[in-house]
């Protein structure tokens, strides 16, 4: 039996097994707080008494006993909830103290409760002229927006960069058509390793198969799965059945009614495809690390690279300059729809220039070609549309390929310091030491404008547009009056801010930690008290 037919039969069997035997369907109407059963029972009792009181008051029956009982129960429940949250906060602090002698990751594991944000679904959509509330209308609007966004970009023929990329891309495709060397195959040990790292979540993926099921399959199934993966690796083929993505949208800002551009598309992929992508990622990462392609300034989506380390390095550099009375110009570069705007032709040409093995490149071409998607909102499903640009969000392969794709971005910065966390670029420019502030400010203006124009040219060349209106500048200084500075990108003046939120921290021009501490205390109080 061909491996594709065996795989489809196996997926259909697992899907039917989950639907008929392993799943208990239960509707969920609301987001409920995590509270112990005894508190939930008391809340239900308060709700029962409150409903009784309002029903009687509606028909002009004033029962003093019910009113007093409602007040007493409400006060008691509030006190009990406060005690429960206080005890949980005490447990949290004791766990943090117990991990002082353990690895550093243990502390951030517990502390992540404070900083972790959840993106909730939205029920309304702002079109600019009206607020949509009907699910079908919202689905249609999102479908039109994303089908337009993932279309093939228009080619600017007078641009010599685009002409060169088109020529190299055609030559590369002809070269790949004749290429026939094996990619490193996989085995059951490697597949079991990635299966063990899956989170045991019961919700199913696009193929109606959940991680929970895959983690409990027998070893014979893994042997057959390894045969399928090896066949596809030898054929440089990413199965077409995995190229259809179900897109759900989340609210980026988490408050208010979002517009289409303020939603984040998340591609729900087949569960088995995640295992295959991790196998591809392991081979791409080995090539990239062997050739030292990932810059040391990059901290996102890399093992062993922590966000606090990047924050501390920025803080130390700026603080040292302020101690020496040297101002520091910081530019926060904002990209438009980072993953959704990746040009496939530019990506292939760039990877080929970086001398990626042609077998891996041919596999990546198959991974990106002929991808399709549809938008689902509530119970409504849109038509299927093709995606000619962008990387699928939700894929473990997308983030690392994006990092390798822009590994030469730091060359635009020159000798100045840069810090990158995934797609967040931060540039620090320090002037030469002078007695007066004016020559240093002039240097920062000239260098800042120069660096911004180089980044803009790079972004234009590789089809990764910069959002100039959201790109801002900030100057850290120890002077009493605020220095006035003008920095331009492509002739447009950048906004200069006194405070900016970056990597989860509030950066002020005097390097005060008070806003960050206040926000942290507010999160702690809201979470545990």
Condensed to tens digits (0 to 9), the pLDDT of residues 90-106 reads 776 676 666 555 555 55
DSSP, collapsed to helix, strand or coil, labels residue 122 as coil
Co-location of 254 and 270 in the same domain = yes
Residue 59 lies in a domain: yes
Residue 80 lies in a domain: yes
pLDDT value of position 75: 92
Co-location of 512 and 380 in the same domain = no
Structure tokens at 359: 């077998």
* 168 confidence band (pLDDT: 50, 70, 90): very high
Q: Across residues 7-11, what is the average pLDDT?
A: 84
Residue 16 lies in a domain: no
pLDDT value of position 120: 60
The answer to whether the beta carbons of residues 124 and 132 sit under 8 Å apart is: yes
Co-location of 257 and 228 in the same domain = yes
Co-location of 365 and 229 in the same domain = yes
Residue 256 lies in a domain: yes
Co-location of 326 and 464 in the same domain = yes
* Alpha helices (H) along 324-395: 344-353, 358-368
Q: Which of 81, 83, 77, 27 is nearest to 48 (CA)?
A: 77
Domain containing residue 155: 3-11+128-295+340-391
Q: Percent of the chain beyond pLDDT 90?
A: 29
Residue 18 lies in a domain: no
What is the per-residue pLDDT across 215-225, written as a single tens digit (0 to 9) for each? 888 888 889 89
Q: Are strands 492-493 and 488-489 parallel, antiparallel or unpaired?
A: antiparallel
Co-location of 177 and 285 in the same domain = yes
Co-location of 178 and 147 in the same domain = yes
Looking at every residue in the chain, the average pLDDT score rounds to 84
Compare 31 and 476 and report the one with higher pLDDT. Answer: 476
CATH number of the domain bearing residue 501: 3.30.70
Question: From the CA atom positions of the chain, what is the Rg in Å?
Answer: 27
User: Which residues are CB-neighbours of 61 under 8 A, at least 6 positions away?
Assistant: none
Co-location of 380 and 468 in the same domain = no
Q: Which of 116, 47, 32, 74 is nearest to 526 (CA)?
A: 116
Residue 396 lies in a domain: no
Compare 89 and 157 and report the one with higher pLDDT. Answer: 89
Q: Across residues 154-182, what is the average pLDDT?
A: 84
The answer to whether the beta carbons of residues 417 and 313 sit under 8 Å apart is: no
Distance CA 313, CA 419 (A): 9
Of the three residues 69, 92, 115, the one that is the final residue of a domain is: 115
Residue 101 lies in a domain: yes
pLDDT value of position 142: 92
Q: Percent of the chain beyond pLDDT 70?
A: 88
DSSP 404-455: HHTTTGGGGTTTSEEEEETTEEEEEE-PPP-SSHHHHHHHHHHHHHHHHHHH
Co-location of 199 and 140 in the same domain = yes
The answer to whether the beta carbons of residues 417 and 428 sit under 8 Å apart is: yes
Q: Across residues 380-406, what is the average pLDDT?
A: 89
Q: Does position 22 have pLDDT exceeding 60, yes or no?
A: no
What is the per-residue pLDDT across 427-470, written as a single tens digit (0 to 9) for each? 999 988 887 888 899 999 999 999 999 999 998 888 888 888 88
Tell me the range of 254-258, 323-327, 517-521 where mean pLDDT is highest: 323-327
Q: Across residues 256-278, what is the average pLDDT?
A: 86
* 111 confidence band (pLDDT: 50, 70, 90): low
Q: Does position 88 have pLDDT exceeding 60, yes or no?
A: yes
Confidence (pTM): 0.78
Co-location of 358 and 413 in the same domain = no
What is the per-residue pLDDT across 41-59, written as a single tens digit (0 to 9) for each? 999 999 999 998 888 888 8
pLDDT value of position 30: 53
Residue 426 lies in a domain: yes
pLDDT value of position 239: 92
Q: Does position 523 have pLDDT exceeding 90, yes or no?
A: no
DSSP, collapsed to helix, strand or coil, labels residue 351 as helix
The answer to whether the beta carbons of residues 440 and 290 sit under 8 Å apart is: no
Q: Across residues 53-70, what is the average pLDDT?
A: 86
Angle between helix axes 160-177 and 358-368 (nearest 10 degrees) is 110
Domain count, the chain: 3
pLDDT value of position 453: 92
pLDDT value of position 332: 92
Tell me the range of 25-29, 31-35, 407-411 where mean pLDDT is highest: 407-411
Co-location of 184 and 289 in the same domain = yes
Of the three residues 82, 115, 148, the one that is the final residue of a domain is: 115
Co-location of 346 and 275 in the same domain = yes
Q: Which residues of 434-469 are buried (b: 16+ CB within 10 A; e: fewer)?
A: eeebeebbebbbebbbebbebbbebbbebbbebebe
To the nearest 5 percent, what fractions of the chain are helix, strand and coil?
50, 15, 35
Q: Does position 287 have pLDDT exceeding 90, yes or no?
A: yes
Q: Across residues 141-170, what is the average pLDDT?
A: 83
First-to-final CA distance of the chain = 61
């Amino acid at each position: 039996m061909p491996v594709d037919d065996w795989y489809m039969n196996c997926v259909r069997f697992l899907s039917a097994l989950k639907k008929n035997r392993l799943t208990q369907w239960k509707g969920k109407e609301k987001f409920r707080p995590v509270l112990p059963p005894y508190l939930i029972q008391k809340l239900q009792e308060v709700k029962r008494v409150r409903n009784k009181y309002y029903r009687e008051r509606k028909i002009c029956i004033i029962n003093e006993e019910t009113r007093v009982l409602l007040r007493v129960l409400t006060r008691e429940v509030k006190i009990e909830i406060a005690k429960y949250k206080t005890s949980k906060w005490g447990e949290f602090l004791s766990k943090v103290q117990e991990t002082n002698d353990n690895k550093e990751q243990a502390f951030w594991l517990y502390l992540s409760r404070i900083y972790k944000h959840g993106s909730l679904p939205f029920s309304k959509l702002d079109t600019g002229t009206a607020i949509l509330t009907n699910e079908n209308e919202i689905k249609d609007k999102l479908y039109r927006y994303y089908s337009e966004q993932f279309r093939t970009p228009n080619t600017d023929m007078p641009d010599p960069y685009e002409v060169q990329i088109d020529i190299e891309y055609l030559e590369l495709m002809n070269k790949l058509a004749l290429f026939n060397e094996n990619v490193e195959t996989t085995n059951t040990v490697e597949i079991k390793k990635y299966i063990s790292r899956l989170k045991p979540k019961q919700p199913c993926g696009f193929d109606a198969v959940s991680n929970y099921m895959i983690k409990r399959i027998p070893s014979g199934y893994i042997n057959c799965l390894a045969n399928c993966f090896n066949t596809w690796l030898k054929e440089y083929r990413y199965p077409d059945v995995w190229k259809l993505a179900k897109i759900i949208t989340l609210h980026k800002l988490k408050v208010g009614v979002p517009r289409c551009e303020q939603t984040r598309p998340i591609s729900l992929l087949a569960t088995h495809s995640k295992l295959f992508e991790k196998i591809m990622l392991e081979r791409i990462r080995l090539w990239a690390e062997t050739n030292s392609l990932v810059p040391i300034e990059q901290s996102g989506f890399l093992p062993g690279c922590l966000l606090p380390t990047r924050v501390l390095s920025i803080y130390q550099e700026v603080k040292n300059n302020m101690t020496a009375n040297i101002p520091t110009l910081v530019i926060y570069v904002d990209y438009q729809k980072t993953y959704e705007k990746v040009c496939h032709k530019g990506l292939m040409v760039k990877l080929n220039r970086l001398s990626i093995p042609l077998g891996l490149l041919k596999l990546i071409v198959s991974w990106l070609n002929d991808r399709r998607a549809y938008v689902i909102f509530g119970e409504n499903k849109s038509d299927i549309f093709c995606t000619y640009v962008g990387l699928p969000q939700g894929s473990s392969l997308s983030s690392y390929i994006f990092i390798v794709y822009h590994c030469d971005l730091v060359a635009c910065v020159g000798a100045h310091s840069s810090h990158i966390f995934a797609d967040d670029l931060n540039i620090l420019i320090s002037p030469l030491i002078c007695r007066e502030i004016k020559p240093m400010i002039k240097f920062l203006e000239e260098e800042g404008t120069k660096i911004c124009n180089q980044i803009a040219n790079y972004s234009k060349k590789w089809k990764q547009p910069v959002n100039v209106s959201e790109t801002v500048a900030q100057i850290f200084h120890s002077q009493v009056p605020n220095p006035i500075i003008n920095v331009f990108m492509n002739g447009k003046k950048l906004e200069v801010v006194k405070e900016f939120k970056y990597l989860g921290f509030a950066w002020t021009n005097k390097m005060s930690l008070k806003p960050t501490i206040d926000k942290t205390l507010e999160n702690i109080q809201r979470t545990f008290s």
